[in-house]
């Protein structure tokens, strides 16, 4: 599948027409991001579920990080595509994300991030875009805040660490 074959339908809010926030990522860039997620999906390691997932994460300087799901016989050790892409970006020094596209082998419904990935996304902000796609390249757009209302947060205190320690 090449870029010309992708059909952007954006049935839910890609232009904000349903009351959701308008897309900040240009449609051509969204299509390219979905294409990168589809390519990443091809590299998935999923011998148990046979359910391939790819993700492509766009950061503010235009860099794209990809990830795929990686399964393990000990299911708790499996790594989702979204967390794989975000962790790679963090390891390269990025902490602010613009958009993520998710691609799977779903023809009839848009693939959705799992609850763990939604919480992981929220660690890096609630107001960035998530594009969930189908195999034909159509997609829906949400912000992280829409996917995880009431996200769990820890408020970090901004005081001097160690200021309570007295010298002897």
Name the residues annotated as catalytic.
Answer: 82
The values of phi and psi at residue 70, to 5°, are -130, 110
Strand partners, 139: 133
* 3 state SS of 90: helix
What is the sign of the dihedral through the CA atoms of 19, 23, 27 and 31? Answer: negative
Give CA–CA dist 113/131, Å, rounded. 10
Residue 159: DSSP 8-state: S
Residue 73 DSSP one-character state: S
Query: Tokens 């990522």 belong to which residue?
Result: 25
């Amino acid at each position: 599948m090449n870029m010309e074959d992708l059909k952007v339908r954006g049935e839910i809010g890609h232009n904000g027409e349903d009351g959701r926030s308008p897309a900040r990522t240009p449609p051509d860039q969204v299509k390219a991001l979905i294409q990168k997620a589809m390519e990443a999906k091809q590299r998935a390691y999923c011998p148990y579920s046979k359910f391939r997932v790819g993700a492509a994460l766009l950061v503010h300087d235009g860099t794209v990080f990809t990830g795929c799901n990686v399964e393990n016989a000990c299911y708790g050790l499996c790594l989702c595509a979204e967390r794989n892409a975000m962790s790679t970006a963090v390891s390269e020094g990025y902490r602010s994300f613009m958009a993520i596209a998710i691609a799977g082998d779903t023809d009839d419904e848009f693939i959705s991030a799992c609850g763990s990935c939604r919480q992981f996304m929220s660690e890096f902000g609630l107001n960035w875009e998530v594009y969930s796609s189908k195999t034909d390249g159509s997609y829906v757009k949400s912000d992280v805040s829409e996917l995880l209302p009431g996200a769990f947060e820890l408020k970090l205190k901004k005081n001097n660490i160690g200021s309570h320690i007295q010298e002897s």
